[in-house]
Amino acid sequence: MKIISIETSSHICGVSLLSDGVIIDKVEVNHPKVHAEKLPVQLNEIISRNNLDLDSIDGVAISAGPGSYTGLRIGMSLVKGFALATNLPIIPVQSLLGIEYQVKDKSEHWICIFSHRDYVFAQKYKKGLPINEPKCIKIELMKNGNIFGYGIPIDMQPKFYYETIPSSEFIGKLADENFVKWSTKDHQLVTPLYLTEFNIATK
């Protein structure tokens, strides 16, 4: 199975090609506000330098949020257009799962992506599984356990915080493992998970 996967939920902007869950090629940059410019170029680069016949692709995966409103909107728009033009299914993958995929800690911990001011998009995990819903919360509310996340400024990083960079590679691996369960050709059903500070959790 071949999957093209895309990550745009943060400053990371990237495209990967995977075959049966193994990374074949990847193009990523870590820079704010370049997604609209870079993403189409990255997708074309992956296709051209791997001589891809689009009929050989089984699906296109996308980091579906939570994360940057602009990044999610740009990524989702491109994926929907690409999937429509190629008649491919979309595999939406929650952005925080893409970070969790890299974490070896099986005790209760937090996964997060920096949002703005002193807010993060965050969710608790244990043994690789979420134990609550993702929320937009203040950094200070992440207590009890290690914190694995991306983008929190150095002067705001809490104790036991471990920077863990999102990547289209892990979005693709999750899409491969969950293809039957998550993939859909009903593109209207695929929408970004937008969260704001108005979804604040207090626990």
Does residue 137 sit in the same domain as residue 184?
no
Q: Are 158 and 139 in contact, with CB atoms under 8 Å apart? A: yes
Residue 197: its pLDDT value, please? 60
- The per-residue pLDDT of the chain, averaged, comes to 95
- Asked if omega into 66 is within 30° of 0 (cis), the reply is yes
Exposure letters 35-58 (e unless 16+ CB within 10 A, then b): bbebbeebbeebbeeeebeeeebb
pTM of the model: 0.94
Does residue 8 sit in the same domain as residue 85?
yes
Of the candidates 154, 77, 166, 79, the one whose C-alpha atom is nearest the C-alpha of residue 121 is 166
Does residue 102 sit in the same domain as residue 90?
no
Residue 203 — very low, low, confident or very high, per pLDDT cuts 50/70/90?
very low
C-alpha angle 191-72-147 in degrees, rounded to nearest 5: 105
Q: Is the pLDDT of residue 66 over 80?
A: yes
CA distance 19 to 17: 7
Does residue 20 sit in the same domain as residue 80?
yes
Q: Is the pLDDT of residue 148 over 90?
A: yes
Does residue 26 sit in the same domain as residue 71?
yes
Does residue 14 sit in the same domain as residue 71?
yes
Q: Are 13 and 5 in contact, with CB atoms under 8 Å apart? A: no
Stretch 107-116: mean pLDDT? 97
CA distance 47 to 158: 41
Q: Is the pLDDT of residue 187 over 50?
A: yes
CA distance 165 to 27: 14
Q: Is the pLDDT of residue 58 over 50?
A: yes
Does residue 181 sit in the same domain as residue 86?
yes
Domain boundaries, position 55: 2-95+166-197
Judge whether 202 lies within some domain.
Answer: no
Stretch 41-61: mean pLDDT? 96
Residue 196: its pLDDT value, please? 75
Residue 195 — very low, low, confident or very high, per pLDDT cuts 50/70/90?
confident
